[in-house]
Amino acid sequence: MKILISNDDGYQAPGIVALHDALKTIADVEVVAPEHNNSAKSNALTLHSPLYVHQAANGFRYVNGTPADCVHIALTGLLGYRPDLVVSGINNGANMGDDTIYSGTVGAAMEGYLFGIPSIAFSQVDKGWGEIESAARKARDIVQQMAAQQLVGEAPWLLNVNIPNMPFDALRPLKLCRLGRRHAAERVITQQSPRGEVMYWIGGAGPAKDAAEGTDFHATAQGHVAMTPLKVDLTDHDHLGYWAQTAARLAADPSAPV
Cα(94)–Cα(164) distance, rounded to whole angstroms?
Answer: 9
Q: Mean pLDDT per 10-residue run, the chain (258 residues)? A: 96 97 97 94 93 96 97 96 96 93 95 97 96 98 95 91 97 94 84 92 77 90 96 91 88 66
Q: What is the pTM of this model?
A: 0.91
The predicted structure's pLDDT at residue 184: 77
Give the residue ranges of the annotated binding site: 8-9, 39, 91
For the chain, the structural domain boundaries read 2-182+209-251
What is the reported pLDDT for 209?
Answer: 74
Q: What is the pLDDT of residues 167-186, one digit of tens each?
A: 999 999 999 999 988 877 78
93: region left, alpha or beta (phi > 0 left; psi from -120 to 50 alpha): left
The correct CATH number of 2-182+209-251 out of 3.20.20.140, 3.40.1210.10, 3.90.550.10, 2.102.10.10 is 3.40.1210.10
- Predicted local distance difference test score (pLDDT) of residue 206: 73
- pLDDT of 192: 92
CB 66 within 8 A of CB 34: yes
Residues annotated within the binding site for a divalent metal cation are 8-9, 39, 91
